[in-house]
Amino acid sequence: MNGTTKTTGEDGMEPVTTEFNSKNERNVNMNAHVETSSTAVVVDKRPTTLVDLINRFELAESRQHPDKVVAVNALRMNDLGNIVVPDLGEFALNEWSTKQTAAMVGLKWDRWFQSSSPEEQAEELNRRFARSSLVLKVRTTSIVEPGTPADGTLTALVSTGFTAIKDSHVAKMLVTGLRSIDTELKIIRSNVTARSCSYVVQIGQPHKVGTGEIGDLAGGLMVCNSGVGFMSLTAVLHITRLICKNGMTAPVADNELLRKRHRGIEEGRLMNMIEDGMKFVPERLSRVSERLLHAEAVPVSDVEETIRGILKDAHMPLRMVAPIMSAYSTASYSKSAFGVSQAITLGAQEFIPEERILLEDVASGYLQRI
């Protein structure tokens, strides 16, 4: 399921052509494990609450080095494929920092280096590094894939104005902001990749909607963040069907509670934004049921053509049509707007987390328009 989409770095750097691959992209599912040292450490216990996730975040963040501002012409790649950062060490590239490096020096990594030796790759990159006048902020961690001969991993090349927002800090603010609404703060799902971190916190108790296809729903809040320049910090209202774990951005117009770029961030102001947004959560979630019941009653004559049109309008790759239609057939959804939305969100589970989130937002937008 390969496809290509244009991603403009949230930090303001040049656009990166991102090739998503649901099978090969590295994804750390925080429901399964977290890497806490230079090698992967398996943690058997699944994080069930936001407090559990905070502990996971803090472990990973404790391995991060302070950001370093460096001239690109001072960087070097050695014959092992590691980037040597002055006064810091040598660091392996991951899939995201590889794409950032390629975009920075103006080449298609796989195409350019398809038949090149490690020495030839290093020579070409070092020649391009030496000609660059850019000054960037380098983000690194001591975490590295087992068996990799490096001091850690280069996680991002971002602009000097980029200011990371720690996932643990955001989660702690949510604990404070949600305290008056829900004290359990259960985690429905969570994922960390080289590009982003995302998780859904359940708000309140699940409830049954109608007597038909919809079934039991859990309201929640989806938080997405990226410490590597892939996306802004966002928090949106979210719903999950418990029968199939299909998730969707809440299909109401004012579903976004927070959006903040990683620049000039004051934590006090961010806390105020979160607290202000939380005041309206129960009322906004209460409107979701009405929208879903309406969608259940809207007939759709041609499901595949409808899905194709939705993806086109959202500028999503049409390669997604086949797995979405497969999900529709497997689950035997109704020929209704609700059935279409569920096919999209069930099919979305076949893709990497970043694409899944986009598709869930697309499904929500569709239900808002009908």
pTM above 0.85, yes or no: yes
Q: What is the DSSP letter of 157?
A: E
Assigned token pair, 29: 């599912």
Q: How far apart are CA 154 and CA 150, in angstroms?
A: 10
Residue 170 CB-density burial (10 A; 0-12 exposed, 13-18 middle, 19+ buried): buried
Q: What is the DSSP annotation of 9-69?
A: -TTS---EEEEEETTTS-EE-TTT----SSS-----SPP-BHHHHHHHHHHHHTTBPPPEE
What is the full per-residue pLDDT of the chain (370 aa) written as tens digits? 333 333 445 664 543 433 344 333 434 444 433 333 344 444 446 789 999 999 999 999 999 999 999 999 999 999 999 999 999 999 999 999 999 999 999 998 988 888 889 999 999 999 999 999 999 999 999 999 999 999 999 999 999 999 999 999 999 999 998 888 888 899 999 999 999 999 999 998 999 999 999 999 999 999 999 999 999 999 999 999 998 889 999 999 899 998 999 987 777 888 888 888 888 888 888 899 999 999 999 999 999 999 999 999 999 999 999 999 999 999 999 999 999 999 999 999 999 999 999 999 999 999 999 9
Closest CA to 291 of 255, 257, 259, 321: 255
Spatial neighbors of 120 by CB under 8 A, at least 6 apart, are 113
Angstrom CA distances, 249 to 197, 257, 277, 360, 369, stand at: 16, 12, 16, 6, 14
Q: What is the DSSP string of 314-325?
A: TT--GGGHHHHH
Return the domain boundaries, the chain: 2-45+65-158, 167-369
Which phi-psi region, left, alpha or beta, contains residue 149 (left: φ > 0; alpha: ψ -120 to 50)? beta
